[in-house]
Amino acid sequence: MNNIAYITGTSRGIGKALAEVLLEEGWSVTGISRQQTVEHAAYKHLSLNLSDPWQQWLPHVFAQHEGAKRLLLINNAGTLGEVGYVGHISPEAIANAIAVNVTAPALLMNEFVKSYPQQQKLVLNISSGAAQYPVDGWSIYCSSKAALDMLSEVGAHEVELAKKNNLHVFSISPGVVDTNMQEQIRHTEKKAFSRVAYFQQLKSGKRLADPTEVARQLMMLINHPKEFKGVKQDVRKM
């Protein structure tokens, strides 16, 4: 019986690293992103835009896996969105960021749990430390990641109330990782984001985590979810 993983945002960064590490460990992986960059016999790609209306993509995501040993959903896709102070962000940018960071993970988590009622399931929602405190210029990113945290907490609370032993839900803070999002941050104008110099120093000082190392750390939780207490988990403390 196979272990089956669904991962959003597999074209680069943490999502691609997670797909590659899971494939190395014998999982079958379905990647969901606009571009395919992973090539493997056990990898299936769904070329989808999660900011599109859900009716266009949600019905095509989850296949039947009656014989699967374990099923895993990683809501990794996310966007920093347009950096700027409130009152200076385009409506389109706000709607797009909320769609990718909140609406799509909620739809996928709901559909995932509904599609596989009997199998062992694990949901990892990739959040951010920015969900815990205000960052100027990041109003939509901070608030959307806070919403993802609460989605995870409520899901885990419902599991506990229903006494389900075949579902675990976690919200993951991966730390500061060397991804395209970090590059976007470093090229932000200071008037839109006062802490840009700090993030530039993280890169120049080689203090950004490698996506593959983050993925390997997360494998401890994926392989042993019952050993981790609490919904919110920080990769740097694993």
pLDDT digits (tens, 9 = 90+) for 152-178: 999 999 999 999 899 999 999 999 998
The pLDDT tens digits of the residues spanning 44-86 come to 999 999 999 999 999 999 999 988 999 999 999 999 999 999 9
Mean pLDDT of 110-123: 96
Q: What is the pLDDT of residues 14-34, one digit of tens each?
A: 999 999 999 999 999 999 999
Q: Can you give the pLDDT at residue 238?
A: 86
Share of the chain above pLDDT 90, in %: 89
CA 27 vs CA 6, 14, 70, 117: distances in Å: 10, 17, 9, 20
Q: Could you say which DSSP state residue 171 is in?
A: E
User: How big is the CA angle at 210 (ends 171 and 184), to the nearest 5 degrees?
Assistant: 80
- Residue 102 sits at φ, ψ, to 5 deg, of -125, -55
Query: Does residue 144 carry a pLDDT above 80?
Result: yes
pLDDT at 1: 63
- DSSP string of 82-105? ----TTSS-HHHHHHHHIIIIIHH
Task: State residue 117's pLDDT score.
Answer: 94
CB-count exposure of residue 106 (10 Å: 0-12, 13-18, 19+):
middle
Q: Specify the fold of 3-175+210-237.
A: Rossmann fold (3.40.50)
